[in-house]
Amino acid sequence: MAEIDAVIAALKAVLTDVEQRPSVAHWQTRMVNRWINQLPGAWLWRWRHLKLRGDIDRQVRRDEFVGHLRATITYLENRRDEQQSSRGRSWLPRIRGKKPPLPADKRLLQ
């Protein structure tokens, strides 16, 4: 899962940046959410539970930001292992196929 690995690497870079700047008290949620939007299936809201929610200005306190970021990275690392063992693209919704048409003689009975 190259996409998940790339997002994990990006989130780790963001975490390093946040940890190196303790003087900043509030952080923008979009710094995390833009990377979560890059995960496979994000357009189907598959990863919506990982999105960071902030106040009205979309900001969170530094300690909340770091805690959420660490938890998200750990979750994705664990899911990466599960994804490799399962079928590819198992996140796609199942689409029911159309039933084959009935033969002409049975259509008349209905």
Is the pTM higher than 0.75? The answer reads no
Rounded Cα gap, residues 20 and 7, in angstroms: 20
Looking at the structure of the chain, the number of domains it has is 1
pLDDT of residue 42: 83
Q: Which amino acid is at 36?
A: I
CA nearest neighbour of 5 among 81, 108, 86: 81
Residue 76 lies in a domain: yes
In a domain, 96, yes or no: no
Q: Which of 27, 28, 70, 20 is nearest to 50 (CA)?
A: 70
C-alpha torsion 45→49→51→56, nearest 10: 100
Output b/e per residue, 39-54; b: 16+ Cβ within 10 A.
bbebeeeebeebebeb
User: 26-28 and 59-61 as β-strands: parallel, antiparallel, unpaired?
Assistant: antiparallel
pLDDT value, residue 94:
59
In a domain, 41, yes or no: yes
Residue 104 lies in a domain: no
pLDDT in tens, 4-36: 899 999 999 999 999 999 888 888 999 899 999
Q: Is residue 56 part of a domain?
A: yes
pLDDT digit string (tens) for the chain, length 110 residues: 578 899 999 999 999 999 999 888 888 999 899 999 988 888 887 888 889 888 888 899 999 999 999 999 999 999 877 665 554 555 555 566 666 666 666 655 55
Which domain does 18 fall in, by range?
2-85
Radius of gyration of the chain (CA): 21
In a domain, 110, yes or no: no
